[in-house]
């Protein structure tokens, strides 16, 4: 059994996995950001029983409600009745005045993270998939021991991710007087609810790391996790500092999905001086399909052990995929030395600077792709799929300032890189929006190449994608999506680029965005009013756009009128016919008891009555 909705309702599970609940009736309030919290277990939610910390089912939500920092109750008038019944609320941000509201979904049984395995990762991923369209972000409460494995697994399983997934936990339970769990959890909720970072991350001790770059480095410190080969994506100080240029974006026009077929026949083999032939041979026997080989230094194995090298060559010939990573926490493998080159030449794949956790989970993910050939799997293992490895080893990526930025810096007498960076952040969004408006892809590419983040938002929260969708620049939309700009980013009106495409009437762009996973962000009542306005103007193009985006033709406004009511009553018969053929019901009553059919009778709208009659007779 799993508990959810602030402990007010109980949600059924199937085989330990919470069944999907229909949350489509919950409105999308522009003052709120919704986060789903998936509580799997771990130290963060444990309570002291009989002198030891133990997980206690069904107590987490009630305890959170009793803590004002986790449940703000002074003013909840901004919530819909459904939200007030089902969500816990954080105090609003001083800057944005938006509330992060969240629901807690509790797994049963609660697990110590040492008991995590492939099936639990699938359960977490499925829970995210089931609720993906209804939330702005996701937080997974998890034990620390295997958190890096879970984060790495989810990063590969969650394909075409467009929203943040943050794993967090604590070294001391959140309900203890002194705990790191409160800051970790609060920070995770804030980042997941208010920042568009489409990655699987780990939040710990005021830092947010890319999940597949993390290792647990300290079992007794609040700084339990480190990312040895990559700085944090977010640093939580007085100001929240986001490294936008380091965010790994999917760069695809495909919808979010979960790859559930993870191969279990994988393992870690760490070389050590004196390792025996029998040990390696036993490790490589069937059913093993993939091995992460942890070698010395920069990827070296003993060349004076032809017996072991022969076994590795033979395994590669059998079709076993072997990925070479270093035993060192920092650094990467390469073929610089003869020993490393020998491994590469026999078919061992260079794993760059991947962590053991990331390499193992990537191997499991790739081997689970049964539709891929063995050569394609080798190619995918060598490719950077989720930001798990550094692809340009030994080279420093240079960020060259454009002439415009240099000129502005000189004019303003700026001298430090921090000052120039702030100017860049202020100017680049405007330049990108201007380029998108004119369809200038080369200009966008130049801005991107000079260090600009294509997803930057201007003073109104609008991105180049919003502008391109409004202006109908489908080539620019393709370019931006392929470079990872999120379809879920909202402007100051809390509207996504999909609404711009609708208001611009660009059906081809609407279909592309919907194919990519975009969904309508507005409350149904707001959409109903806009569709009724279009119906009143006989604006068939606008109605077609709303319908293409997934809006129902039976949405009702404040008087319970549907767009068909309005179209029929005003003799806007082109709009009425479109709505009727799209599935609009003629028998839905408004607050006055009038249906579209009865209105047509009253005003003798013969054309519409004939349409109904002809359709019914056929």
Active-site residue set: 43
Structure-token pair, residue 28: 């999308």
**Nearest CA among 466, 261, 478, 472 for reference residue 371:** 261
Contact (Cβ atoms closer than 8 angstroms) between residue 350 and residue 335: yes
Sign of CA dihedral 294, 296, 298, 299: negative
**Nearest CA among 456, 455, 462, 463 for reference residue 484:** 455
Query: What is the CA angle 275-276-277, rounded to 5?
Result: 130
H or E segment to which residue 86 belongs: helix 81-86
SS3 label, residue 138? strand
Cβ neighbours for 307, distance < 8 A, ≥ 6 positions apart = 277
Strands 47-49 and 137-141: unpaired
Strands 165-168 and 200-204: parallel
DSSP assignment letter at 348: P
Contact (Cβ atoms closer than 8 angstroms) between residue 57 and residue 106: yes
**Nearest CA among 205, 245, 195, 248 for reference residue 225:** 205
Written as one string, the DSSP assignment of 537-598 is TT-HHHHHHHHHTT--TT---TTS--HHHHHHHTT-HHHHHHHHHTT--S----TTS--HHH
Contact (Cβ atoms closer than 8 angstroms) between residue 163 and residue 190: no
Task: Report H helices in 205-352.
Answer: 277-283, 306-318, 338-345
Task: Report H helices in 472-558.
Answer: 474-482, 497-504, 507-516, 524-536, 540-548
Structure-token pair, residue 204: 């710990």
Query: What is the CA angle 511-515-521, rounded to 5?
Result: 80
| Bridge partners, residue 235, by sequence | 207, 241
Pairs from 313-316 (Cβ < 8 Å, separation ≥ 24): 313/346, 313/347, 315/284, 315/291, 316/346, 316/347, 316/348
């Amino acid at each position: 059994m799993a508990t959810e909705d602030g402990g007010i309702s109980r949600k059924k599970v199937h085989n330990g996995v919470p069944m999907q609940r229909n949350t489509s009736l919950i409105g999308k309030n522009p003052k709120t950001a919704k986060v789903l919290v998936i509580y799997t277990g771990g130290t963060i939610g444990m309570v002291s029983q009989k002198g030891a910390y133990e997980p206690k089912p069904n107590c987490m939500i009630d305890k959170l409600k009793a803590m004002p920092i986790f449940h703000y109750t002074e003013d909840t008038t901004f919530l819909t009745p459904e939200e007030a019944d089902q969500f816990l609320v954080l105090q609003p941000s001083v800057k944005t005045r938006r509330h992060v509201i969240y629901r807690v979904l509790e797994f049963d049984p609660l697990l110590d993270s040492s008991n995590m395995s492939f099936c639990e990762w699938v359960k977490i991923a499925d829970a995210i998939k089931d609720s993906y369209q209804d939330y702005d972000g996701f937080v997974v409460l998890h034990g620390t021991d295997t958190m890096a494995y879970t984060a790495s697994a989810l990063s590969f399983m969650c394909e075409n991710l467009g929203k943040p997934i943050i794993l967090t936990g604590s070294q001391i339970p959140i309900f203890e007087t002194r705990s790191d769990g409160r800051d970790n959890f609060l920070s995770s909720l804030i980042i997941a609810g208010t920042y568009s970072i489409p990655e699987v991350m780990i939040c710990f001790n005021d830092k947010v790391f890319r999940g597949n770059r993390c290792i647990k480095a300290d079992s007794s410190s609040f700084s339990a996790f480190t990312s040895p080969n990559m700085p944090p994506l977010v640093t939580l100080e007085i100001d929240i500092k986001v490294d936008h240029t380091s965010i790994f974006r999917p760069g695809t026009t495909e919808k979010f999905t979960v790859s559930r077929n993870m191969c279990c026949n994988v393992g870690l083999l760490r070389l050590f001086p004196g390792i025996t032939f029998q040990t390696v041979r036993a490790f490589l026997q069937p059913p093993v399909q993939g091995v992460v080989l942890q070698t010395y230094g920069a990827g070296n194995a003993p060349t004076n052990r032809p017996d072991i090298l022969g076994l590795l060559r033979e395994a590669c010939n059998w079709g076993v995929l072997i990925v070479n990573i270093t035993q060192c926490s920092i650094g990467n493998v390469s073929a610089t030395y003869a020993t490393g080159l020998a491994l590469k030449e026999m078919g061992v794949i260079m794993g760059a600077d991947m962590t053991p956790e990331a390499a193992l989970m990537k191997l499991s993910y790739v081997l689970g792709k049964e539709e891929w050939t063995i050569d394609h799997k080798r190619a995918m293992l060598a490719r950077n799929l989720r930001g798990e490895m550094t692809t340009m080893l030994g080279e420093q990526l240079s960020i060259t300032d454009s002439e415009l930025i240099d000129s502005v810096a000189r004019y303003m007498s700026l001298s430090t890189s921090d000052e120039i960076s702030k100017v860049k952040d202020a100017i680049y969004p405007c330049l990108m929006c201007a380029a998108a408006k004119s369809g200038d892809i080369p200009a966008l590419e130049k801005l991107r190449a000079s260090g600009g983040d294509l997803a930057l938002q201007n003073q109104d929260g609008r991105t180049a994608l919003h502008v391109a969708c409004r202006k109908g620049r489908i080539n620019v939309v393709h370019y931006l999506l392929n470079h990872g700009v999120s379809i879920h980013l909202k402007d100051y009106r809390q509207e996504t680029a999909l609404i711009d495409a609708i208001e611009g009437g660009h059906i081809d762009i609407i279909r592309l965005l919907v194919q990519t996973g975009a969904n309508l962000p507005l409350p149904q009542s707001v959409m109903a009013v806009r569709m009724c306005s279009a119906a009143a103007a006989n604006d068939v193009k606008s109605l077609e756009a709303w319908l293409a985006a997934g809006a129902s033709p039976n949405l009702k406004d404040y008087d319970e009128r549907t767009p068909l009511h309005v179209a029929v009553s005003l003799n806007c018969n082109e709009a009425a016919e479109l709505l009727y053929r799209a599935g609009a019901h003629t028998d839905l009553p408004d607050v006055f008891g009038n249906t579209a059919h009865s209105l047509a009778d009253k005003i003798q709208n013969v054309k519409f009555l004939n349409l109904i009659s002809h359709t019914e007779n056929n």
